[in-house]
Amino acid sequence: MTQNISNKTPQEVLRLVIEATTPATGEGFFNILMRKLTTSLGVRKAFVTECLDYPTTRVRTLAVWADGALVENKEFSLAGTPCEEVINGKKICFYPRDLGKHFPLELQYGWESYIGIPIVQPSTDKVMGHIAILNDKEMNDAILVESMFRIFAARAASELERLYTAEALQASEEKYRLLVEHQTDLLVKLDNKGRLVFVSPSYCALFGTSEAEVLGTQFLLSVHEEDHAAAREAWSALFQPPYSGRVRQRVKTIKGWRWLSWNAQAVLDDDNQVREIVATGRDITEQRQAEEVVRLVAEATAPVTGEEFFRSLMRRLASALNVRSAFITQCLDYPPTRVRILAYWRQGDFIEPREFNLRDTPCEIVVGQGKICYYPKEVAKHFPNDKGLVDLKSYIGVPIFESSGGKVIGHIAIFNDKEMDDELLVESIFRIFAARAGAELERLQAAQALRASEEKYRLLVENQTDLVVKLDSNGQLNFVSPSYCELFGQSEAQLLGTRFNPLLSDGGENQPVEAWQKLFRPPHSCRTENHVLTTQGWRWIAWAAKASLDSQQRVREIVAVGRDVTEQKRAEEQARHHMNELAHVSRLSAMGEMASALAHEINQPLASILTYAHATLRLLESGETGELRHAVKRVIKNTERAGDIVRHLRDFVRKGEPQRTLVKVSYLVREVVRLTAAEARQSGINVTLDLTNDLDPIHVDNIQLQQVLFNLLRNGMEAINAGNGDKRELLIRASQDGENCVEIAVSDSGPGIPPAIADRLFEPFVTSKPHGMGIGLSISRSIIDAHGGRIWATANADQGTTFHIKLPIRSDNDGANI
C-alpha cells in the first residue's frame, strides 16, 4: 500500500484531479473526486461531507466511495468519530494505524487507519465540511499523503465556493507536460552482475564520461548516503517477482547533486534467471522543486485569504525561486493603465503596497497584452525609463486572468539582481502561483460583489414595504414575506403552495403569461404590473422577478419582488394629464397663430367652388351644357378638399385621451407638412421630404406625434424667417435605425440656436422667439419621453439647426400610457 501511494507523485495527483473534475460540478464532481482519491491513494473508502449545523454536530456526505463503488449518501453524528476532531478542531487528523484504539466505535468496521482534512471556506475561515479516507491497512509516508490530501481538499473547497480554478490549473498542468517532455531520459543496460553493457549519450553527458570509459565497468553512482538503503532495496527487487524496481535518489553529476528517478526492469532468460537489466533514469530535480512548490502553495495558502494570502504567496514565491522581489497586483482600470500592488516582498521584507502606472515598464506588456514576459537578463536595458529596474538584471511577469472571460485582472512579477536561467521551471512554478492567485483574486471580487448584493437584499427585506415571494418552477409560492401576507390579509400557511397569479394568470391579458415565459429563457427575468384587490383596496403592484438556475440551467426557483406603485402611477397619470392639457392648449394657440395661413388654405377650394358654380349658372342660362358635368365634379372635389382641411384642423385641436395606434411615419410627416404648407408658401420656404421607403410603422399617438413634428416644422420656419439667409430650406428626413428605432430629423437653414439657451432648449419657458411662449419644445419632449423616445438638437455643418426624434418601433412604455 505504501508502494501504491509513492507510485503517485503529486504531479500525477494534480493531473488526476484536474482530469477528473474539470468538466464536472456539484455532486458529480465530488463522486469523481472521491473515486480518484481512493484509487490514487490505494485505500478502501473516501468520502466528503458538508456540515449541517454550527458548531457542527452532524454532517451529511456529499459523496462516498467505498470498495470500488458509490455508496448512498447519509447524515451522521460526529460524536465519537475522528471526523469530530477534524471538523471542530479545524485540523488535519492522521491515524496511520490502530484507529480502533483511539476510536472504539470504528473498531466494529475493522478500520485500521484514517486521515481527515477540513474544508475551510477561505473568506469566512469557517469549516464547511471535510474529506476523509479510511483503510483496513496501515498508512505510511505521512507527508506525501498529507500533501496530496491537501490538494484534494483545496479542490473540494474551491468547488464548494464555486471558484473556477480548473482553467488556471490546467494551464499549469500544460507546463508540467512540457517540463516532462523536454527531459532527456537516461538509458542504461546492465548484465546480471551489474556491469554496464550500454549507456545512452545523455548518460555520458550527465556524468561527464564516455561510452568507452564506462562500458564493462560496474554501474556505481555516487549516491547520496541517505538514499543508499533505498538503492539496495530496489536492486534486490530486480531479482525476484515482479523483477522490477523504482528508486529516487540524489546522485552526484557534473551539474552537481541531482535528483534522479530510476525505473528498472529485469530481462529473464528461459530459466527465469535474470539475464540483463534495462534501466531508464530521469533527472527530476526540477520536478521535485515543482512538487515542493505545489506543497508550499497548498500549505502556505490554505488557511489564509485576502491580503495575508497574497503576502504569504509572494514570500513563498520569492523563496521558491530564490529571487529578490516578488509582487502581485490588481488592475485598476480597463484597458489597464494602472495597477495596485496587493503584496510586495522585497529583500526579505514586505514593503508598503502602492499604486503605479504601467507605462514604460515590463509589467505593461504583461498586463496590457496578457502574456508572460520573461527577461532572463539585462531587463533594465529594455526599459530605460523604468527607474525601479536600476540594479536589476532579470524579470518575469505572468498575467492573472479572470477564469471565465479571459480578461486580465492583475499580474505577478519577480525581479532579481542576478540573471535567471531555466525558464521552463521558473515559468511553470510561476504559473502555479498565478493560478492560485487568480482564484483568490476572483474569489475576493466575487465575495465583494456577493456582500454588496447581500447587503442590498438585507436592506430590501428589512426596510420593506416591498413584497418578496419565492416560487418553485411550477409557480407555487414557497416563500412569502410578512408584507405580502399583510397586504393580502392572508397567513403564510394559507398562501404557501398556492399559485402566484401576478406572473401566471392570463386574466384575459397576454402580459402575465408572457412574463412567466420570459423567466424560462435568458436572461431569466421579467417585469410586470398588476391591478389587484388588497386589504387597502385596488392597488397597482409592479413585480420584478428573476429565476435562479440549477447546474443544468433549469429554472430552480423564482424570486419576485413587488412594490406598490399605485401612488406613483397616480402621479404619472396626473403628470400625463397635465401634459395632455398643456399639449392641447399649445395646439390651440399654434392654430391661432396660423389662422391667416389656414384661412388661405381653405379659401383656395372655396374660390374654386364659387367660380365653378357661377360658370355653371351662366352655362345653364346660355344653354351650353357641354362642360357642366366637369364643373360639378370639380365643385365636389374642392368641397371635399375644404372639408378635409377643416376635419384635420379639428382633429389637431381636439382634446382627447391619447390613443396609440400603429402609424406610418410617412403619413405622419405628410400630414404635418400639409398643415404647415400654407405657412411655408407664405414665407417662401421650400420644404423637402426625404423619407426612406419601407419604414416600419410606429406605435404612437397620432395627434401627439403630429404636434411634435408640427412644432419642429414651425420652429424651423420661424428660424428661417428670423435669419436673413437667402437659403430658405426646410428638410425633413425619416430613416430607420436597425429594427428598433425610427429617426425623424427636421433641418432648417436658419441662424442656429443662440448659445445662451442651447442647453436649456427643452425646458419650459425658454425661447429665442420674440413672441414665443417657450412651451413647444418642452411639450414635444414630454410627448417623446412618454413614447419612450428621445429628442435632441444639433447644429448643422453649414447653417441652421437639426432637431432629431428617435422613437422605438415597439415601445416598452406601451403599458404605462394606457
Partner 1 sequence: MAPTSEPTVFVVDDEEDIRDALRMLLASVKLKVETFGSAGEFLAAYDPARAGCMILDVRMPGMSGPELQEQLRANNISIPVIIITGHGDVPTAVRTMKAGAIDVLEKPFSDDLLLERVHQALQRDAALRTEQAERDKIAKRLARLTPREREVMGAIVQGKLNKVIAADLGLSTRTVEIHRARIMEKMQVRSVSNLVQMVLRVSGEGSEIST
The CA–CA distances, whole Å, from 261 to 197, 258, 349, 588 equal 20, 10, 37, 98
- If the CB atoms of residues 333 and 621 are measured against partner 1, the closer one turns out to be 621
> Within 13 A of 554's CA, how many CA atoms are on the CB side?
5
Kindly state the number of chain residues that form the binding site for partner 1, as judged by CB under 8 A. Answer: 27
> Within 13 A of 247's CA, how many CA atoms are on the CB side?
23
Torsions phi, psi for 464 (to 5 deg)? -80, 145
Distance, CA of 215 to CA of 800 (rounded, Å): 99
- If the CB atoms of residues 162 and 618 are measured against partner 1, the closer one turns out to be 618
- If the CB atoms of residues 571 and 610 are measured against partner 1, the closer one turns out to be 610
- If the CB atoms of residues 387 and 630 are measured against partner 1, the closer one turns out to be 630
H or E, element range at 713:
helix 702-722
Which residue has 384635420 as its cell numbers? 648
Q: From the CB of 708, what's the least distance to partner 1, in Å? A: 27
Q: From the CB of 619, what's the least distance to partner 1, in Å? A: 5
Q: Which of residues 676-695 bind partner 1 (CB under 8 A)?
A: 681-682
Pairing status of strand 686-691 against strand 729-737: parallel
**Position among 421, 627, 640, 737 found at the interface with partner 1 (CB under 8 A):** 627
Q: Which of residues 70-99 bind partner 1 (CB under 8 A)?
A: none
- If the CB atoms of residues 35 and 641 are measured against partner 1, the closer one turns out to be 641
Q: Which of residues 129-188 bind partner 1 (CB under 8 A)?
A: none
Dig out the grid coordinates for 41 from the structure. Answer: 491513494
Q: From the CB of 724, what's the least distance to partner 1, in Å? A: 19
Q: What sign does the dihedral 782-783-785-790 (CA atoms) show?
A: negative
Q: Is 204 helix (H, G, I), strand (E, B) or coil?
A: helix
Q: From the CB of 683, what's the least distance to partner 1, in Å? A: 11
Contact between 526 and 542 under an 8 Å Cβ cutoff? The reply is no
Q: Which of residues 535-564 bind partner 1 (CB under 8 A)?
A: none
Contact range with partner 1 by CB under 8 A, out of 126-134, 148-156, 569-577, 630-638:
630-638
Distance, CA of 345 to CA of 325 (rounded, Å): 5
Q: From the CB of 799, what's the least distance to partner 1, in Å? A: 23
Q: From the CB of 600, what's the least distance to partner 1, in Å? A: 4
Strand segments (E) across 451-568: 467-472, 477-480, 525-534, 537-549, 555-564
Contact between 259 and 285 under an 8 Å Cβ cutoff? The reply is yes
- If the CB atoms of residues 634 and 787 are measured against partner 1, the closer one turns out to be 634
Q: Which of residues 605-624 bind partner 1 (CB under 8 A)?
A: 605-612, 614-616, 618-619, 622, 624
Q: What is the dihedral of CA 639, 641, 646, 651, to 10 degrees?
A: 140
Q: From the CB of 605, what's the least distance to partner 1, in Å? A: 7
Q: From the CB of 637, what's the least distance to partner 1, in Å? A: 8
- If the CB atoms of residues 95 and 612 are measured against partner 1, the closer one turns out to be 612
- If the CB atoms of residues 606 and 816 are measured against partner 1, the closer one turns out to be 606
Q: How far apart are the first and last CA of the chain?
A: 78
The CA–CA distances, whole Å, from 202 to 185, 224, 272, 283 equal 7, 21, 31, 11
Q: From the CB of 653, what's the least distance to partner 1, in Å? A: 21
Cα 569 from chain centre = 35
Cα angle, residue 442 at apex, residues 439 and 445 outer, rounded to 5°: 150
Q: From the CB of 729, what's the least distance to partner 1, in Å? A: 14
Distance, CA of 791 to CA of 660 (rounded, Å): 19
- If the CB atoms of residues 267 and 599 are measured against partner 1, the closer one turns out to be 599
Q: How many CB atoms lie within 10 A of CB 238?
A: 19
634 binds partner 1 (CB under 8 A): yes
H or E, element range at 666:
helix 665-675
- Per-position DSSP letters for 120-170, written without gaps between them: EETTTTEEEEEEEEEESS----HHHHHHHHHHHHHHHHHHHTT---HHHHH
**Position among 135, 586, 638, 782 found at the interface with partner 1 (CB under 8 A):** 638
Q: Which of residues 576-605 bind partner 1 (CB under 8 A)?
A: 596, 599-600, 603-605
Q: From the CB of 588, what's the least distance to partner 1, in Å? A: 22
Q: From the CB of 634, what's the least distance to partner 1, in Å? A: 6
- If the CB atoms of residues 423 and 627 are measured against partner 1, the closer one turns out to be 627
Contact between 429 and 321 under an 8 Å Cβ cutoff? The reply is yes
Q: From the CB of 643, what's the least distance to partner 1, in Å? A: 15
Contact between 119 and 151 under an 8 Å Cβ cutoff? The reply is no
Q: From the CB of 720, what's the least distance to partner 1, in Å? A: 16
- If the CB atoms of residues 463 and 622 are measured against partner 1, the closer one turns out to be 622
Distance, CA of 551 to CA of 691 (rounded, Å): 51
Dig out the grid coordinates for 585 from the structure. Answer: 392648449
Q: From the CB of 675, what's the least distance to partner 1, in Å? A: 17
Q: From the CB of 625, what's the least distance to partner 1, in Å? A: 11
- If the CB atoms of residues 608 and 813 are measured against partner 1, the closer one turns out to be 608
Q: From the CB of 641, what's the least distance to partner 1, in Å? A: 9
The CA–CA distances, whole Å, from 81 to 47, 57, 87, 119, 405 equal 14, 11, 10, 17, 44
- If the CB atoms of residues 397 and 605 are measured against partner 1, the closer one turns out to be 605
- If the CB atoms of residues 85 and 679 are measured against partner 1, the closer one turns out to be 679
**Position among 92, 314, 373, 631 found at the interface with partner 1 (CB under 8 A):** 631
- If the CB atoms of residues 609 and 783 are measured against partner 1, the closer one turns out to be 609
Q: Which long-range contacts (CB under 8 A, 24 or more apart) does 303-310 make?
A: 303/120, 303/125, 304/122, 305/122, 305/123, 305/125, 305/440, 305/443, 305/444, 306/444, 307/342, 307/343, 309/122, 309/440, 310/342, 310/343, 310/437, 310/440
- If the CB atoms of residues 570 and 618 are measured against partner 1, the closer one turns out to be 618
Q: Which of residues 343-362 bind partner 1 (CB under 8 A)?
A: none
- If the CB atoms of residues 267 and 620 are measured against partner 1, the closer one turns out to be 620
| Binding residues for partner 1 (CB under 8 A) | 596, 599-600, 603-612, 614-616, 618-619, 622, 624, 627, 631, 634, 637-638, 681-682
